[in-house]
Chains A and B, each alone.
Chain A
Amino acid sequence: MTRLNKMINNNEIMLGIFALLLFISFSFASSYFFRLGNLMQLTAQLVELGLLTLAMSASIISGGMDLSIGAMTSLSTVLLAIFMGTMGLNMWVSILLAFLIAMICGALNGFLCGFLKINSMLATLGTQALFTGIGLVISKGVTIQCFREEFFFFGQGRIGGLLPFQTVILILAATLSVLLISNSIWGRRIYLIGSSPEAARFAGINQEWNIMLVYIYSALMSFICAIIVTSRISGGRADVADPLVLQSVSAAVFGGISITGGSGNILGAMIGVIIFTLVSNGMNMMGASQFLQQIIIGSILLAVLIFRYFTKKQ
């Protein structure tokens, strides 16, 4: 009995079981779902939401929320497309330039939230408008094309003709994030800052720089996401990643990251992403309506939150 209790109380195990149940259900429900081609594609569909959920999780754990990740990603897609497509620069030079600009964006967020101590939601709402605005101005509001064969590999390439390359990127990024956030000294510091800034201050933790690093990490994940999006759509647009922002908040919270900061972990958030993507792909395979999908996603999210309320209470 106590073993069962422990299992139910372990968020990641419960979510994992739930994902597995969904997987089995969809396999029986649609003859198109359990096919190698679809399963490989399913892993590729995880990637963009996955990377932005990593970014979002870090900022939420530190007690904030980075709402500018969608705008940073979109701005980076525009820059990559302009550097490579319009200006015809070398691919690696373009990536480096866009990377530096993304880091400046992250540092700006970090400066506002860490050093000036502006409420992170307000600060990143402001920078979000700023980044989107810059993207709109330099792209003149249209999709900038970027047809570069050598660049397609990031978002369209398959290793051995099968495993999508972006899936490998997500696995690497998630592993790095688990190491950094769950297992490093920096990680433990941001948990402490997130749960109790007071205690962190008494412990002598330099909040300014640790928060700065959170937003730089968030910008890094957004930038990696931008490389994949730009490759996948052969271009960049100033609002292309905007819808992913709120989805990443849902996935993180669904995965057990506390919205008030300081608890939850990256693995759970990733399982959250897997469940969201499973539902979307599986229901498409079943031919269910897109509107029904939103109801199902909403219901599952609520069910898990209610479940957590009851388990926590005891």
Chain B
Amino acid sequence: MKSRKLVLSIILLIAFTLSLAACGQDQGTGTDKGSESKGTIAVLNYVSSAPYFACGEEKAIQAGKDAGYDVIYTGTPEVDTPKFISLIQDMIQKDVKALCVASGDSTSVVPVLKEAREKGIKVVSWDLDVAEEGRDLYAGIMDLAELGVPMVEEMVKTIGDEGEFAIITGVLTNEFLQARINRILEYIEEKYPKLECVAVEGMDEDPEKCFAVAQNIIAAYPNIKAIMSNVSTGMGPIGKAIEQEGMIGKIYVTGQSTPNLAKPVFESGAAESAVLWDPGDWAAFAVKAAINLVEGADMPQGKVNIEGFPDATREGDLLYFWKTLVFTKDNVDDFDF
């Protein structure tokens, strides 16, 4: 009987603590330091446990703060489309002024985003663009399939312009990643016909799976010279697989990586360079575009004046800020994300 009461009170306690924690939260996001907030902007991504998205938080929040807005930066911890849609609905219920949405595919969030727009909420897509009717603007770096070009060029600098390579991508169903793979294949056919892509594998945003996939590729293709990571989280595990199989100097990992994840791979010698952009800049760019929409600021075609992004342009509903980064072991320590 005693233990029964004990456990009952524990459960009551959890409910109580929840409500207390809640009170603190609500006040925290409202107004801080006495300055009146102009409203809230929600910045959402579809896999918030990825360092790639986690590292954008600070700059996104700062971009909002500079203009007097609160920013909620959140996402589903794992890829989970039904839950992601529920999260967007919840943000709509919270009366946000604008949504900046990074979705895993271009159509599944469109109905819920249309609902948001009908309620007067401004919608900016970033990372992957969504179908037009779902958003007011797309905020991007450049046409991201085009990023395949510097990725190939950096690979050629490392392994030369002939031989076999493989690509490890995120989730195989991700259209945006698929579009870049197609661009890569098109580009090498045109410019480096002696390069041959022998395999395209998915790692499902899971580093351990990526490691195993890389090991399999190394075993299956004895003549392979490079494994290209099509996502920012792949280079570390691929580099480790190359190191463990004793293939340093024979097989290189190329492609994308965040600088922090690339550092150990540069040290082991499994990679010479990595291509990326700053996800924080990207999220901040989306926030600034959203604020311009909310405030009705003029954003003409051609060159666009967006604070902090001097090269920004607009073509139709697409805003680009044109800034990529190539990391090598000489400059990688200058970045921290």
Residues of A within 8 A of B (CB): 5, 8, 18, 21-22, 25-26, 28-32, 35, 37-38, 41, 45, 48-49, 136, 139, 141-143, 145, 152, 156, 229, 232-235, 237-241, 243-244, 280-291, 294, 296, 299-300, 303-304, 306-307, 310-311, 313-314
A163 to chain B, nearest CB (A): 15
B92 to chain A, nearest CB (A): 8
CA A28 to CA B78, docked complex, whole Å:
29
Task: Check A303 against B11 for contact (C-beta < 8 Å).
Answer: yes
Task: Please encode chain B, from 81 to 122, with 1 for each CB lying within 8 Å of some chain A CB and 0 for all others.
Answer: 111011101110111000000000111111110000000000
CA A311 to CA B10, docked complex, whole Å:
14
Chain A at the B interface: SS class = helix
Query: Given the known A-B contacts A290-B77, A307-B7, are A18 and B85 also in contact in the complex, defined by CB atoms under 8 Å?
Result: no
Query: Given the known A-B contacts A21-B15, A32-B95, are A142 and B173 also in contact in the complex, defined by CB atoms under 8 Å?
Result: yes
Q: Which one, B21-29, B59-67, B148-156, is touching chain A?
A: B21-29
Task: Please encode chain B, from 11 to 25, with 1 for each CB lying within 8 Å of some chain A CB and 0 for all others.
Answer: 110111011011101
CA A187 to CA B249, docked complex, whole Å:
64
Task: Check B82 against A25 for contact (C-beta < 8 Å).
Answer: no
Task: Check A237 against B81 for contact (C-beta < 8 Å).
Answer: yes
Chain A residue nearest to B90 (CB atoms) is: A284
Task: Check B93 against A141 for contact (C-beta < 8 Å).
Answer: no
Query: Given the known A-B contacts A142-B105, A238-B173, A287-B29, are A32 and B74 also in contact in the complex, defined by CB atoms under 8 Å?
Result: no
Chain B residue nearest to A306 (CB atoms) is: B7
From the candidates A22, A30, A289, name the one contacting B74 in the complex (CB within 8 A): A289
Q: Is B220 interfacial (CB 8 A cutoff)? A: no
Query: Given the known A-B contacts A142-B178, A287-B72, A310-B3, are A239 and B171 also in contact in the complex, defined by CB atoms under 8 Å?
Result: yes
From the candidates B7, B29, B86, B173, name the one contacting A303 in the complex (CB within 8 A): B7
29 contacts between A and B (CB under 8 A): A29-B19, A29-B23, A30-B22, A37-B93, A38-B93, A41-B89, A45-B89, A142-B178, A143-B108, A145-B107, A234-B111, A235-B107, A237-B81, A238-B173, A239-B171, A240-B82, A240-B108, A280-B86, A281-B86, A284-B94, A285-B94, A286-B21, A287-B25, A288-B21, A290-B48, A303-B11, A310-B4, A310-B7, A311-B4
Chain A residue nearest to B76 (CB atoms) is: A290
Q: Is B1 interfacial (CB 8 A cutoff)? A: yes
Chain A residue nearest to B106 (CB atoms) is: A143
Q: Is B80 interfacial (CB 8 A cutoff)? A: yes
Q: Is B175 interfacial (CB 8 A cutoff)? A: yes
CA A45 to CA B83, docked complex, whole Å:
8
CA A304 to CA B8, docked complex, whole Å:
9
Q: Which residues of chain B are within 8 angstroms of A310 by Cβ–Cβ distance?
A: 3-4, 6-7
Q: Which residues of chain A are within 8 angstroms of B173 by Cβ–Cβ distance?
A: 136, 139, 141-143, 237-239
Task: Check B81 against A240 for contact (C-beta < 8 Å).
Answer: yes
CA A131 to CA B7, docked complex, whole Å:
43
Task: Check B14 against A303 for contact (C-beta < 8 Å).
Answer: yes
From the candidates B77, B82, B89, B171, name the one contacting A241 in the complex (CB within 8 A): B82
* Chain B: interface residue total (CB-CB under 8 A): 56
Chain B at the A interface: SS class = helix
Determine which residue in A229, A234, A314 has the highest number of CB atoms from chain B within 10 A of its CB, and name it: A234
A191 to chain B, nearest CB (A): 27
Task: Check B86 against A45 for contact (C-beta < 8 Å).
Answer: yes
Task: Check B108 against A234 for contact (C-beta < 8 Å).
Answer: yes
Q: Is B172 interfacial (CB 8 A cutoff)? A: yes
Q: Which residues 35-89 of B have a CB within 8 angstroms of A?
A: 48-49, 72, 74-83, 85-87, 89
CA A280 to CA B14, docked complex, whole Å:
15
Q: Which residues of chain B are within 8 angstroms of A5 by Cβ–Cβ distance?
A: 1, 4
Closest 4 CB pairs of A and B: A29-B22, A25-B19, A233-B108, A284-B90
A27 to chain B, nearest CB (A): 9
Task: Check A280 against B83 for contact (C-beta < 8 Å).
Answer: yes
Q: Which residues of chain B are within 8 angstroms of A287 by Cβ–Cβ distance?
A: 25-26, 28-29, 72, 94
Chain A residue nearest to B12 (CB atoms) is: A21
Chain B residue nearest to A31 (CB atoms) is: B26
CA A35 to CA B22, docked complex, whole Å:
17
Q: Which residues of chain B are within 8 angstroms of A289 by Cβ–Cβ distance?
A: 74
CA A227 to CA B175, docked complex, whole Å:
23
A56 to chain B, nearest CB (A): 16
CA A281 to CA B80, docked complex, whole Å:
15
From the candidates A28, A240, A313, name the one contacting B19 in the complex (CB within 8 A): A28
